[in-house]
Amino acid sequence: MNSNFLRTKIIATLGPASWDIETIEKMLLAGTNVFRLNFAHTSYEKADEVVKIVREVSLKNNKPCALLADLQGPKLRIGEIKDGVILENDADVYITNEEILGDANRFTLKYENFTDFREGDQVLIDDGKIVLSIEKVLSAKEMKAKVIRGGPLLSRKGFNVPNANLSIFPITEKDKEDLKFIASHDFDWVALSFIKSAQDILKFRHFLESLESDLSIIAKIEKPEALRQLNEIIIAADGVMIARGDLGVEMPIYQLPVWQKRIITRARQLAKPVIVATQLLRSMIDDIIPSRAEVTDIANAVLDGADALLLTDETGIGKHPVLVVETMAKVIGEVEKNPEFTKFLTKNFKMASPLKLNCNRIQYVTASIATEVVLRYPISAIIGLTYTGSSIIQMSSYRSPVPIYAFTSQEKVIRKLCLIWGVAPFNYDNQNSTDESIEDTLNYLKENNFLRVGDWVIHTASMPIKASKHINTVKISIVE
């Protein structure tokens, strides 16, 4: 296996600190597999420019990468605040949804109907730095609250209301306009914010269909309601993201580590990719070395079996975006090359048990056979011929101790698979016969030092190959 190959993928957010061509190229070569654009902070003009740069440097370096668009969603924010406002503990404050210049006595929460709130609901501002308790809902436009935890009140900070049943649909009018742009610029994945149910995903997919878009949907798990419908959401989406920022505010933060492990396990069992996001290397926004806690956090996410780790402000606005990616890659590499990691994979190989719903049964059986053989025989790699990538994602969910090399004629599939754990995707467009394709892929991997003479490998493919159907064939070969 190529020594630079990481099973756990790296997603880097592009922003003012990193969206020039030189930095993007360095980040790609440092180990980035997916570039993320946050449409809460990115203009169409800048996004158009950045997409072209990413595609250009990917082609130049013969290193495929995917593009992930992250929608803003219905982010709840406070209004404009005067300079120097500080909320004092136990003080009374009045809240309105009308636009005013706020102060310590009265300010704006941008939410349409305050009758959705209840007495005793807590309003957490700026990721919980400030906590208010609703004492009385005076009207649809005004509430009275008590300051439980005070502090500096700053303009346009986000707010959360844990466990409140607020009337919010996760696709805003801004999101719909953004999606038209995203679909027309050939992004590979799109992340949907603040979903509560599988129905949100289905409505979102219906809107994508109206745009004739085949974008793959990442459901961001950041609301307690989503945890209550976790299975249904994972099944309805194409992947999930553990958005620890808002999720850690919406629920008791000490419950977050266990929920992270639960979500990763369930996503694997349902054969969907899973991303861990938020504050993985937050200290490196300014510093040149990470904290011990951050390194341990990354290592644990790798050991849990996450498909990808997402860097946000660290690469978007931080001082050292390239160094951050290099650091992430080093930590992942150290974990994955340790013999204990291989033992861990083998021990947990069966974790992806037969919970895979709504999948092609022949594909499921074939993928299961291929991955079972890896445990029983000295196999060096799985080589998959694929048209849609679904069989590769299925096999990846088992977290095979050996790499999966995916060959496809579809450029879109190559990019999509850049997000998937343990997969290295390659372009291949010979449709003459399955046997000829198997021989070609073996020769390519041997010539490029992915395999050596004498290695045993497993091939998965469809037969006949021109049918481009789900995989139905498993073959064991020896590299000559």
* Strands 142-149 vs 130-137: parallel, antiparallel or unpaired: antiparallel
CB-CB neighbours of 112 under 10 Å: 12
CB-CB neighbours of 126 under 10 Å: 16
Q: Which of 7, 9, 196, 220 is catalytic?
A: 220
CB-CB neighbours of 51 under 10 Å: 20
Kindly state the helix (H) or strand (E) to which residue 199 belongs, with its residue range: helix 198-210
Tallying the residues shown for the chain, one arrives at 480
Q: How far apart, in whole angstroms, are the C-alpha atoms of residue 135 and residue 36?
A: 41
Residue whose tokens read 């629920």 = 251
CB 169 within 8 A of CB 201: no
Which residues on adjacent β-strands are paired with residue 96? Answer: 108, 142
Active site annotation includes 149: no
CB 399 within 8 A of CB 352: yes
- CB contact burial 326-359 (16+ within 10 A = b; e otherwise): bbbbebbbebbeeeebeebbeebbeebeeebeeb
Residue 63's Cα: distance from chain center in Å? 20
Q: Which of 13, 23, 96, 278 is catalytic?
A: 278
Is the N-terminal amide bond of 354 cis, ω within 30° of 0?
no
Q: Which of 75, 77, 129, 475 is catalytic?
A: 77
**In sequence order, which ranges of 61-197 are alpha helices (DSSP H)?**
173-184
Q: Which of 7, 9, 26, 36 is catalytic?
A: 36
Residue whose tokens read 């850690």 = 248
Residue type, 51: V
Residue type, 165: N
Active site annotation includes 7: no
Q: How far apart, in whole angstroms, are the C-alpha atoms of residue 314 and residue 112?
A: 33
- Is 153 strand, coil or helix? coil
Which residues on adjacent β-strands are paired with residue 461? Answer: 473
DSSP string, 257-287: HHHHHHHHHHHHHTT--EEEES-SSGGGGT-
Active site annotation includes 36: yes
Active site annotation includes 268: no
Catalytic residue numbers, as ranges: 36, 77, 220, 278
